[in-house]
Amino acid sequence: DAGVIQSPRHEVTEMGQEVTLRCKPISGHNSLFWYRQTMMRGLELLIYFNNNVPIDDSGMPEDRFSAKMPNASFSTLKIQPSEPRDSAVYFCASSFSEGIQPQHFGDGTRLSIL
């Protein structure tokens, strides 16, 4: 079975540019998570979707960040305008929402904002 697929794997862009990260969850999973990982803060939940609906976006740092899930097989995380402090590894994860179902992580997008 294909796992969670993220693209791009690496992104280097200049400050002020728009960045779009993409995620395809595991087929059949109805929960989707976007995380950001840095050395200082570890793995932080940015937003959680259940059945394509954003349930908890309290971790989204500011209005420059937005996320969408137009259908069960695709989600995007957008940063506009990007800033150097947004540099991090961004992970997408998916799971079933019922019961104790662990998350499965994608390979991540390593984002560098110059």
Tell me the torsion sign for CA atoms 20, 70, 36, 62. Answer: positive
Q: How many chain residues touch another protein (CB under 8 A)?
A: 22
Is residue 103 a contact point for another protein (CB under 8 A)? yes
Verify binding: residue 102, another protein, rule CB under 8 A: yes
One residue of 26, 31, 86, 88 binding another protein per CB under 8 A: 31
Sole binder of another protein in the list 12, 15, 55, 114 (CB under 8 A): 55
112: which strand partners? Answer: 12
18 binds another protein (CB under 8 A): no
Per CB under 8 A, the segment of 11-19, 20-28, 68-76, 98-106 that binds another protein is: 98-106
Q: Should residue 44 be labelled a site residue for another protein when binding is judged by CB under 8 A?
A: yes
Question: Is residue 42 within the footprint of another protein (CB under 8 A)?
Answer: yes
- Binding-site member from 23, 29, 33, 69 for another protein (CB under 8 A): 33
**Residue from 84, 104, 114, 100 nearest 29 by CA:** 104
What's the 3-state SS for 14-74?
CCCCCEEEEEECCCCCCEEEEEEEECCCEEEEEEEEECCEEEECCCCCCCCEEEEEEECCE
SS3 111: strand
